[in-house]
Amino acid sequence: MSTPVMLVTGGSRGIGAATARMAAEAGYRIVVNYAANSAAADMVVGDIVADGGQAFAIGADVSDEDAVLAMFDEIDARYGRLDALVNNAGVVDDAERLEDMSMDRLRRMFEINVFGTMLCAREAVKRMSSAHGGRGGTIVNVSSASVTLGSPSQYIDYASSKGAVETFTMALAKEVVGEKIRVNAVRPGIIDTEIHASGGDPDRVARLGASLPMGRAGTAREVAGAIIWLASDISSYTTGAVVDVSGGRAV
């Protein structure tokens, strides 16, 4: 039997990169998707290959249907199977109240965080589902503790998009439960990655870390551990679940 394959969207940096590295350690061949930062994606692939694993990087904006279709075609051609999809690619935006949010901002937030997740899941289901002749598989979506907190006056559009991701997780899990596919989500709290800088708040982890229940922010690798568990057979009776990885923040 050939080696299982995992696609990690947004695998070039942060939680996605940590997931790609940990999954390679666990024996998967890895597809490292990225949007623009090919150098970061190449570094993740280089590290995996240097450790004896197999991986390749592929640029594709997950909100661009043609790019997503081309990415899955490339996976078919190069690896010939797909066992796990980690829908990790996601964006935030600058802190704003709803009154100031433009339609362009709202559209981008939902196109990447929600439609990107749904598009990649759609293509994965076509390949994994036993109803389509597939051998089954797992999908792990990356939500956010903002679903329970709301992120008022910061990015309620982001929180709402992740709420859609969680409903989609539950809904798709039920839709494909009889087709050898499990669908779950992780809900990270404040994790030390570059996403906070991209939301105009590079000091967020340093400023808020000590005030969190565990007295610190989480690491990308701590989220990756939950993702790998949900993707693997060890979680074989778990589907439609959301695993909180917020160091106690959301409860």
Question: Which residue numbers are catalytic?
Answer: 158
* 5/71 with CB nearer ligand NAP: 71
Q: How far is the CB of 119 from ligand NAP (least distance, A)?
A: 10
What number of other Cβ atoms are within 10 A of residue 39's Cβ? Answer: 10
Q: Is residue 197 a contact partner of residue 148, using CB atoms and an 8 Å limit? A: no
* 40/134 with CB nearer ligand NAP: 40
Cα 132 to Cα 78, 125, 135, 218, 239: the distances in Å are 20, 8, 9, 39, 20
Among 8-16, 20-28, 49-57, 74-82, the segment contacting ligand NAP (CB under 6 A): 8-16
Q: How far is the CB of 39 from ligand NAP (least distance, A)?
A: 9
Among 98-106, 119-127, 173-181, 191-199, the segment contacting ligand NAP (CB under 6 A): 191-199
Q: Is residue 188 a contact partner of residue 223, using CB atoms and an 8 Å limit? A: yes
* 33/184 with CB nearer ligand NAP: 33
Write b or e for each residue in 57-73: b if 16 or more Cβ atoms lie within 10 A of its Cβ, otherwise e.
bbbbbbbbeebbeebbe
* 81/221 with CB nearer ligand NAP: 221
List 73, 94, 175, 194, residue binding ligand NAP (CB under 6 A) = 194
Q: Does 245 bind ligand NAP (CB under 6 A)?
A: no
Q: Strands 84-87 and 55-59: what pairing?
A: unpaired
What 202-210 contacts at long range (C-beta under 8 Å, 24+ apart), as own/partner pairs, is none
Residues 6+ apart with CB under 8 A from 166: 141, 143, 147, 185, 187, 242
Backbone phi and psi for residue 220, each to the nearest 5 degrees, phi listed first? -60, -35
Q: Does 34 bind ligand NAP (CB under 6 A)?
A: yes
Q: Does 195 bind ligand NAP (CB under 6 A)?
A: yes
Q: Does 20 bind ligand NAP (CB under 6 A)?
A: no
Backbone phi and psi for residue 186, each to the nearest 5 degrees, phi listed first? -110, 150
* 92/181 with CB nearer ligand NAP: 92
Site for ligand NAP in 149-178 (CB under 6 A): none
Number of residues near ligand NAP (by CB under 6 A): 31
- Residues binding ligand NAP (CB under 6 A): 9-10, 12-16, 33-37, 40, 61-63, 88-91, 112, 116, 142, 144, 188, 190-191, 193-195, 198
